[in-house]
Amino acid sequence: MNPFLVVKSPRGQKVHRLFQEKTTTLGRDPKNSVVLEGQGCSRHHCEIYHRDGRWWVRDLNSRNGTRLDRSPLDGESEFLPGSVLQVSDYELAMTYDLSNVPGELVDSAGLERPTDDSLEAVGDLDTFPPHEPTILTSTTSNPFLEGGARVAAAESTSLGQLFTRLYRLSLAMAKAATSKALAETVLDGLSMIPADNSAFLLLASPTSKTADPADLEVLAFRSPDQQTYRPVSTYLSQKVLSERQAVLARDAQEDSALSERDSLGQFKAKSLICAPIRQDSTVYGLVHLYSSDPNRPLDEESLEYTLAVGDQCAGLLANLLNREKLAEGLAQERDANARLREQLGLESELVGGSPSMQGLKQRIGRIAPTDSTVLIRGESGVGKELVARAIHLSSRRRQGPFVCMNCAALTESLLESELFGHEKGSFTGATTRKLGKFEQAQRGTLFLDEVGEMSGAIQAKFLRVLEGHPFERVGGASPVQVDVRVVAATNRDLEQAVDSGQFRKDLYFRLQVVELHVEPLRDHPADIPLLAEHFLQRFARKSGRSIRGFTPAALAKLTGYDWPGNVRELQNTIERSVVLCLGEMVDASDISLSGLGHFAEVSAPRPVAVSSPSAASGEGEGEAEVSLEALEQRHILGVLDRTNWNKSQAAQILGIERSTLDRKLKRYRVSRPGSS
């Protein structure tokens, strides 16, 4: 048991409990364990502590010194029960029994010496308020095991009944399929003990070290009047968890100080049992029993039986917890696999069997396992984000987050805040700290779309992060280091942006470690039927429609269109067709196309007979063998001539992005006639 420290001064008397695991400090400072008033006391005067099985007292270089049994205390000295410590006008003594307080303290204070019979009444006095329940007995040995004290006496009627109950309870516990069911079975088996309330508490993790009572969680609880469970005394639970022993304790009914801080007072418990659930040196939790009936107190026999039940269930509990942990891990793996299959099967639209798509998939397979920065280029709507997601799902970072960010959607200040985060109060409206996309993508992949639209200031900060340097949040001063793979995308002509000074050359080369080009849909029309069928099945399933496929006329309409909006436009068109379709097959009349594209006969690339640039536009009649690339060049130049070299209008007619048109003209090495 932990002893009492009796403190007497002209201002009154108090009793404090000493704990082996805690140093008790004394002095004028309010933060001390025992506050000593008066100018004769130093702020930090002395301390009492437990070491090597003995209690010690040490003077803390106080101004007026400390005396032990009338002799000056030099450094530390053993503090024995019955010794008197003097600090200024205070006298302090340590005792394990309040009926054995040193004579001079009791006599000088005019106190009536308590007796064993009246010890509980001391709890009603302000002089000696107890701070914890009084432990009546404790045990660490299971008396029902072979060689135990109860085994030899099992022939008696009461003990024979206990053995029978324990055996039946063991059979019932063995049938429990979960730890929760086991806990309920244990409390049912303890119902023969005259306890008003019982609880089965489980640690967050079994441990062979000293456990923290704060980690206890209620797994099962019994109360005849449906009271809300309140935790067991921290003092008792700490003792049981650390010493692996069961305790039987009692408490005073009117102890108001205890009722404020402990469930015993709230339940008005006259007696209680707290027993560990243990296996060898490992403790899993504890069992907690209360009794508030003074005529039916818990006794030593109940204590031994509760300990035996706790020991009996520990092995079963260990197996159930391991099984539940494995089941939880298996469920998590199944969920992860299901999400991965969903992402690969439904979210990824890298559908197609054309040489173009096969080549793209092969390049993704080679790039993904590395941590290299990837730059994805292609027109709007070709599926650059889907390519980035496929890279992430095929990489070693697939268990980490995949975070997307469109750099063209925000102003410079908002883009910086979104990318790098901000601190609370860094600008108007910043009411809390916010983590940026880089921190959100930690150990995963960050996909930055329209990266060519970054301002110069953001480009500089972005480049430093790509080079492995830490960054600071907006309004912050602490460096933030991240482990993120960056995949960027753009449909802008970055080479032209570098030439014009709008994009940093060093950032361009840092992004272009690995480059992937996603071809527009018109360049691999053989994939149109596969993509259309893929989208049809998705939207039919989503809307609950029973649509089996496309009519030949519908497929001809889809494959004859040049899809200026690429895969995104095809996806939206199929979704619209599913909504409009009234039958089991999507017909040509169900397909509504925009006016931005054109129809052309779809065939494999082959030489085409034309005689002049005008023939490429359908204006000539002579014929000559030219390549498809030459035909494309002549057709583009013809459209530019008709639009008086209005590139935006020409790009719209051609069904391509303005940036794509500029890139083609640069490759053709042509410019507007008459321009320098």
Dihedral (CA of 395, 397, 399, 404) sign? negative
Q: Rounded to an integer, what distance in angstroms lies between the CA atom of residue 25 and that of residue 36?
A: 10
Q: Rounded to an integer, what distance in angstroms lies between the CA atom of residue 479 and that of residue 156?
A: 74
Q: Where in the chain is the domain with CATH 2.60.200.20?
A: 4-130
User: Hey, which CATH number is domain 521-590, 1.10.530.10, 3.40.50.2000, 1.10.8.60, 1.10.10.10?
Assistant: 1.10.8.60
Which range of 157-161, 214-218, 220-224, 456-460 scores highest in mean pLDDT? It is: 456-460
DSSP assignment letter at 361? H
pLDDT at 355: 87
- Give pLDDT tens digits for 495-552: 999 999 999 999 999 998 899 999 999 888 889 999 999 999 888 888 888 888 899 8
Q: Rounded to an integer, what distance in angstroms lies between the CA atom of residue 347 and that of residue 129?
A: 68
Contact 240, 246 (CB under 8 A): yes
- Strand 24-27 and strand 34-35: the pairing is parallel
- Give pLDDT tens digits for 441-478: 999 999 999 998 888 888 998 998 988 888 888 888 78
pLDDT at 628: 66
Contact 7, 34 (CB under 8 A): yes
pLDDT at 375: 94
The structure tokens listed for 355 are 């040489």
Q: Where in the chain is the domain with CATH 3.30.450.40?
A: 139-322
- Answer yes or no: CATH 3.40.50.720 is held by domain 139-322: no
77 pLDDT above the threshold of 80: yes
pLDDT at 277: 93
Which range of 228-232, 349-353, 415-419 scores highest in mean pLDDT? It is: 415-419
Contact 262, 237 (CB under 8 A): no
Q: Where in the chain is the domain with CATH 1.10.10.60?
A: 608-668
Q: Where in the chain is the domain with CATH 1.10.8.60?
A: 521-590
Distances, alpha carbon 391 to alpha carbons 258, 345, 349, 370, in Å: 62, 14, 13, 10
Q: Where are the beta strands (DSSP E) in 18-122?
A: 24-27, 34-35, 46-51, 54-59, 67-68, 71-72, 76-78, 84-87, 90-95
Percent of the chain with pLDDT over 90: 22
Using alpha carbons only, how large is the chain's radius of gyration in Å? 41
- Give pLDDT tens digits for 91-108: 999 988 766 555 455 444
pLDDT at 423: 86
The closest alpha carbon to 46, from 61, 68, 64, 29, belongs to 61
DSSP assignment letter at 344? I
- Give pLDDT tens digits for 239-290: 888 888 888 887 534 333 333 334 444 445 578 899 999 998 899 999 998 8
State the pLDDT confidence band at 335, using cuts at 50, 70 and 90: low
pLDDT at 87: 93
φ, ψ for residue 389, nearest 5 deg: -65, -40
Give me the count of residues in the chain: 676
- The CATH architecture one would assign to domain 348-517 is 3-Layer(aba) Sandwich (3.40)
DSSP assignment letter at 21? T
Q: Is 266 helix (H, G, I), strand (E, B) or coil?
A: helix
Q: Where in the chain is the domain with CATH 3.40.50.300?
A: 348-517
- The CATH architecture one would assign to domain 4-130 is Sandwich (2.60)
Q: What average pLDDT does this structure show over 582-604?
A: 72
Dihedral (CA of 241, 244, 248, 249) sign? negative
CATH class of the structural domain 608-668: mainly alpha
115 pLDDT above the threshold of 50: no
φ, ψ for residue 191, nearest 5 deg: -65, -15
pLDDT at 54: 92
Q: What average pLDDT does this structure show over 404-432?
A: 84
Q: What average pLDDT does this structure show over 205-220?
A: 87
* Residues near 65 by beta carbon (within 8 Å), at least 6 away in sequence: 59, 72, 73
pLDDT at 259: 36
